[in-house]
Structure 1
């Protein structure tokens, strides 16, 4: 469903731009008034997406932390895998922020094209903080979580969600289970709402694109094309991380690892789903790399369930492109907050379909940087292209971790039990995890 929806949304973007440009050219008052009315429908659709951000992000963080803690407790092998996951995600986030900043310095967006894209998708930005570290540090903990949610203070929401999730894992089982179940229900409810809203995505994106074309003609097309090329390039460049990991830690297996990855990468390119690639990953890791049943039955399912290397890479690339478009200069504290938020939401959003995870992951990062989130509705329409390279990078990183982690000396839990614990409700078909 979501794959065909992506094509429809992309077609809606193109047709909306063309229709708006045509009305812009003829400047007929009746057509202009009608187009502005249609654009209001797009704003309504966007607001319906925005209303799910805070409850969805908070619930996903709580349930994600609880699921990851349960999976990490299954044995030493899982614990070592989680250490590698964390290290790779941190390096990936730093790479993503640095790579897109370098690309934008070498190839800045044409001011006219950027203004054409942002001028028709207005949103409120948050001014960059000018306080120092001593003033910024106390703001990490929300004195009033409800007010933080109302003010879109996303870093405070993320911090509270992480603390809440970790605290919930310390409760007795009879108390923890219904609490985590409640937030799972909230998250699933928000996802149902987002799915409903996304069904109308072709209409919403068409309406917003119509407004862009109405005001600027086709001037925004250049910025959108540059966005797709840049985010795709940064995401493809992230492949150096899993290959580098294997080269450094298992240099003698590097050639075999490259051969083992190739068919899985081709499958990821066509399916855009890490979950759909899991059987192929297990087969190639076992047959080509000689991995044990513990590794294929523990590490790979865990990786698919809770590890998405390209999430912070691509999400930060998108967010930095947006602040470049709007000419914003976030403070060092906001940039650090955005990197931290990108790492946190990469765990919470694992297993969601691409369109849902894009908005659920990107909105908190944009809010942390003080960037408007309204433009995400337009960028969602072209996400189908970078999403291909997200999945290719993720399956490569999953196999790299499986290649470098060593099984424990002591017997581990049965692979089937760990697989069920890791994948329980975390992934679903169509997810670009």
Structure 2
């Protein structure tokens, strides 16, 4: 296999705009808003002031939501184009993609089964109900299996977008990406250029919205603090631990992949992966951790030709924790809102989480949080309003995301290398 030609085969030529986000300021605004809301919870504030603060939070939340569908559509087309280009790159790439889908599906199934059990053993604090002030009161119907199957295809994509029916929209744009890949080169280039420009435009808008996140999060957090009191902090801590536990499964799974498929003992793998894990924790970036991942692969005795091909590809199109942790967030909010997750809705969540993960892996954590989890929640009939506050604490679960992603990347390299020609 010619490694250089494979690298060229997976280069789509499309790059997304880079956005720097006020993560620390947003987190500080969350803490300050909650603390001030708790302190003034018993105060008799003028109703007009409370309504004005609520309006600021509502407008910011709506601005966050308005870009979800066009951004998801464009990122899906670009991400699946990368995935299909990788599939044509050779046997090693196809083995890699097989492992990618195996890990992603297993992570989604694990969360769908284990998260309800975990929440039964460690219930959500009652104080968390304060996060639901912006959630509509209407009762959500639980579809049966036939209704679920019928909902997979929408006769009118514009109507589906208006109703935020994410599952049929996701399937449509996945099929569109496949169809575009079959077009003549000039038509393919024009359409890919359009979706690339659309993605960048939406990223710029969502970047502007997230730049004022401290203001919007402060307004929302103030209301939550007034309604929930000091228990709001305990509720956020519970959420962080539960969602991170689902990422912990992927982290442990990486050691089994290296052992059972890569032939590397867990103890040896643990020792040699530590440098890459240290960089992952300190940077919270799989891309920044790439040199350390290559170094760990070398320490494990893996062939450089395999590592230098698979690891950049993994950083580009693989985020191992996405279905497990993103589905966990949606299911946590569902439990918070009292939404029953039927088997059909769980399958819908896993499907959307799997497909969406392909298009969001190159994005910063705060943006991928909105883009990845919003569609999952909408597909499962889960309110998206609480996500506006949870994005402010994403920097903490994101440590587990990056740690598990980097560890799984190297584990997958060991599995591909063991079966390389």
1:53 to 44, 58, 68: 68
Tell me what 1:165 maps to.
Answer: 177
* Change in 2 beyond 3 A, CA 1:46/1:94: same
SS in 2 for 1:140: coil
Tell me what 1:196 maps to.
Answer: 208
Superposed, 1:60-79 pairs within 5 Å as 60-79=75-94
Q: Which sections of structure 1, spanning at least 5 residues, go unmatched?
A: 411-433
Tell me what 2:148 maps to.
Answer: 136
Instruction: Please report the TM-score for the alignment, with normalisation by the length of structure 1.
Output: 0.89
Structure 1 segments of 4 or more deviating over 6 A? 1-4, 407-410
Moved more, 135-144 or 176-185: 135-144
Q: Are 1:20 and 1:35, in contact at CA under 8 Å, matched by a contact in 2?
A: no
Q: Are 1:231 and 1:318, in contact at CA under 8 Å, matched by a contact in 2?
A: yes
Q: Are 2:307 and 2:413, in contact at CA under 8 Å, matched by a contact in 1?
A: yes
Superposed, 1:337-352 pairs within 5 Å as 337-352=348-363
* Change in 2 beyond 3 A, CA 1:176/1:245: same
1:181 positional shift = 1.2
Tell me what 2:31 maps to.
Answer: 14
Tell me what 1:91 maps to.
Answer: 106
Q: How far apart, in 2, do the equivalents of 1:253 and 1:289 lie? A: 10
Check if 1:360 corresponds to 2:352. no
Tell me what 2:55 maps to.
Answer: 40
Q: How far apart, in 1, do the equivalents of 2:101 and 2:171 lie? A: 17
Instruction: Please report the TM-score for the alignment, with normalisation by the length of structure 2.
Output: 0.92
Q: How far apart, in 2, do the equivalents of 1:397 and 1:242 lie? A: 5
Tell me what 1:327 maps to.
Answer: 338
* Change in 2 beyond 3 A, CA 1:253/1:24: closer
Tell me what 1:421 maps to.
Answer: none
1:209 to 221, 225, 241: 221
Superposed, 1:298-317 pairs within 5 Å as 298-317=309-328
Tell me what 2:128 maps to.
Answer: 114
Superposed, 1:236-255 pairs within 5 Å as 236-255=248-267
Tell me what 2:5 maps to.
Answer: none
Tell me what 2:300 maps to.
Answer: 289
Provide the aligned length of Structure 1 versus Structure 2. 404
SS in 2 for 1:297: helix
Tell me what 2:8 maps to.
Answer: none
2:115 to 68, 92, 100: 100
Q: Which sections of structure 2, spanning at least 5 residues, go unmatched?
A: 1-17
1:67 positional shift = 1.2
Q: How far apart, in 2, do the equivalents of 1:128 and 1:348 lie? A: 30
1:241 positional shift = 1.1
2:233 to 185, 208, 221: 221
1:88 positional shift = 1.1
